[in-house]
Amino acid sequence: MASDTPESLMTLCTDFCLRNLDGTLGYLLDKETLRLHPDIFLPSEICDRLVNEYVELVNTACTFEPHESFFSLFSDPRSTRLTRIHLREDLVQDQDLEAIRKQDLVELYLTNCEKLSAKSLQTLRSFSHTLVSLSLFGCANIFYEEENPGGCEDECLVNPTCQVLVKDFTFEGFSRLRFLNLGRMIDGVPVESLLRPLNSLAALDLSGIQTSDAAFLTQWKDSLVSLVLYNMDLSDDHIRVIVQLHKLRHLDISRDRLSSYYKFKLTRKVLSLFVQKLGNLMSLDISGHMILENCSISKMDEEAGQTSIEPSKSSIMPFRALKRPLQFLGLFETSLCRLTHIPAYKVSGDKNEEQVLNAIEAYTEHRPEITSRAINLLFDIARIERCNQLLRALKLVITALKCHKYDKNIQVTGSAALFYLTNSEYRSEQSVKLRRQVIQVVLNGMESYQEVTVQRNCCLTLCNFSIPEELEFQYRRVNELLLSILNPTRQDESIQRIAVHLCNALVCQVDNDHKEAVGKMGFVVVCVACFCLSLRSHACHTPS
């Protein structure tokens, strides 16, 4: 049973302050710019939380209105201290980073911030003396600068048609930087010269970046413990470089098998090299690779008995030489995940529920294309079999839907999975708090994504809840969304029939105040218009 533990006082206070900024922490200067009250000092523990929760609210709560000058609250390090912040999506613009440039940031994660331009590269230099961890994952335009200043009409957008690629920026002066993520960086940026000034990198992510010569990686052979080369076109030369990085504890050379034709195949020799040369390896991801058959032993030769993670019994021959089981082994969409004895405590794959959940957990943040296929497998498990790790499955799907609210594939597969994970069979295992989280993410999906399949899945999922009791905390919002579905101009009658059923259930069993509120929204007028349209088209609907 999931816990109904109430939110902490810190969480409640943070949420209240963010929803009432000009009445709590700050005031409006010239009716536009937020300024912190002069008698307030906030330590980093509070400031980091305020910023990170603000980003979460903007990206997941459709009812939350962002404030253009929010980051100006943290412009003065004498009254506010920021150290570790995670910013994502189009919320963040150049002027927002500029507003906090005086802060001594230790950790800065920028994920899919496509509105950032080369102006922000210069702002990053302000943090060079303190920054230890930096992620620019998916910030596709951060290496573009305006070719003719004043030439682009909308300063809020980065338009590559009037931009030129910056090739002379390097990480010179970032002496403390140890963790760097450049995943999905724009083509054409000279990675080798960009990274050359960094002497002691411990973790590097070059997901989606193509380089024919990876020899530059050897400059960190005595310091690099984590290397991610997801969707990099590998060759034997890349492998020769990788096995020289003897300190590696985490290696990810996985790929999206649907992205493009891929020549490189993993052989028994390559896997044996990893085991022999990378003695500290604790985590390895080879998901999506074509694996030659000589890597595994035959079914007849597999040791009988219970499934074992002991390397000596491994069904993957090269891994029998491991000194200890791996902490994680990524085998999603490979033939190896279906073998019996796999020497790892946690395996991502498509063989069973455990492997599928591990895949969703591992790939949600940065790999929506993989996550959507893993959630689709979970959907099949929930639909055909019984889901044995219900609470974990629900939380992972909710996280994926929040993280990728504009990704069609995740919204379709995620909303479909929620329908089966919230049905009556599982209700006793779900807390009120968890079921409310499901309702909120479903409503977010309905507001953010107007795709027919998503709308239908979300409406069907709402039918799994006790109406009106479980929906009453979002009563007005639910009705407004259902009324938009009932708009006569919409063509999908199957969704409209579900919406009529939900509206009927919401209205019939509530007090007069709720009924009056729904009436004022125009429920009766919209329903009559729907019925008139049905009469004119000679359509006949059976009762819900």
User: Does 285 map to a domain?
Assistant: yes
How many angstroms separate the CA atoms of 110 and 199, rounded?
22
Q: State CA 163 to chain mean position distance.
A: 28
CA torsion, ordered 340, 342, 346, 348, to nearest 10 deg? -70
For 34, the 3-state DSSP assignment is strand
Structure-derived torsion over alpha carbons of residues 113, 117, 120, 125, reported in degrees to the nearest 10: 120
DSSP string covering 510-532, please?
S-HHHHHHHHHHTHHHHHHHHHH
Backbone angles phi, psi at 526, to 5 degrees: -65, -45
DSSP class of residue 215 equals G
DSSP H helical ranges for 322-407: 353-363, 368-384, 390-403
What backbone torsions phi and psi does residue 42 show, to the nearest 5 degrees?
A: -120, 125
Residue 313 placed within a domain: yes
* 418 contacts 461 by C-beta, under 8 angstroms: yes
Beta strands in 385-506 (DSSP E): none
Q: Are 177 and 125 in contact (CB under 8 A)?
A: no
Which residue in the block uniquely carries the two structure tokens 């019994």? 313
d(Cα 111, Cα 364) in Å, to the nearest integer? Answer: 13
Q: Is residue 262 in some structural domain?
A: yes
The kind and range of the H/E element at 436 are helix 432-448
Task: Count how many residues are written for the chain.
Answer: 544
Query: Where would I find the beta strands (DSSP E) of 74-225?
Result: 84-88, 107-111, 133-135, 144-146, 163-165, 179-181, 203-205
b or e along 206-232 (b: 16 or more beta carbons within 10 Å of the residue's beta carbon)?
bbbbebeebeebebbeeebbbbbbbbb
The 10s digit of each residue's pLDDT in 291-339 is: 877 788 877 667 666 789 999 999 999 999 999 999 999 999 999 999 9
Residue 350 DSSP SS3: coil
In a domain, 140, yes or no: no
* CATH code of residue 332: 3.80.10
- Residue 245 included in any domain: yes
Hey, what are 319's tokens? 């891994």
Q: Cα–Cα distances in Å, from 180 out to 124, 132, 218, 512?
A: 13, 9, 16, 58
Which amino acid appears at position 242 of this protein?
Answer: I
Q: pLDDT tens per residue, the chain (544 residues)?
A: 556 788 899 999 999 999 999 889 988 887 778 889 988 999 999 999 999 999 999 988 777 888 999 999 999 999 999 999 999 998 899 999 999 999 999 999 999 999 999 999 999 999 999 999 999 999 999 999 876 655 554 555 555 556 788 888 999 999 999 999 999 988 888 999 999 999 999 999 999 999 989 999 999 999 999 999 999 999 999 999 999 999 999 999 999 988 877 788 899 999 999 999 999 999 999 999 988 777 888 776 676 667 899 999 999 999 999 999 999 999 999 999 999 999 999 999 999 999 999 999 999 999 999 999 999 999 999 999 889 999 999 999 999 999 998 899 999 999 999 999 999 888 888 899 999 999 999 999 998 877 889 999 999 999 999 988 999 888 888 988 888 888 766 667 788 888 888 888 888 777 767 777 777 777 777 777 766 766 766 565 554 4
E strand or H helix at 475, and its extent? helix 475-485
Domain count, the chain: 1
Omega prior to 468 cis, within 30 of 0? yes
Query: Do residues 249 and 202 touch, judged by C-beta distance below 8 A?
Result: no
Q: Which domain holds residue 342?
A: 201-351
Structure tokens at 200: 């002691």
| Per-residue pLDDT, 195 | 96
Q: Is residue 272 part of a domain?
A: yes
Could you tell me the CA-to-CA distances from 138 to 90, 265, 359 in Å, in that order? 11, 27, 21
Q: How far apart are CA 324 and CA 514, in angstroms?
A: 62
Q: Is residue 325 part of a domain?
A: yes
- Asked whether residue 111 is assigned to any structural domain, the reply reads no
d(CA 20, CA 64): 11
Alpha helices in 64-135 (DSSP H): 94-99, 118-124
Residue range 343-386, pLDDT digits in tens: 999 999 999 999 999 999 999 999 999 999 999 999 999 999 88
Q: Specify the 3-state DSSP secondary structure of 169.
A: coil
- pLDDT above 90 covers a percentage of the chain that reads 65
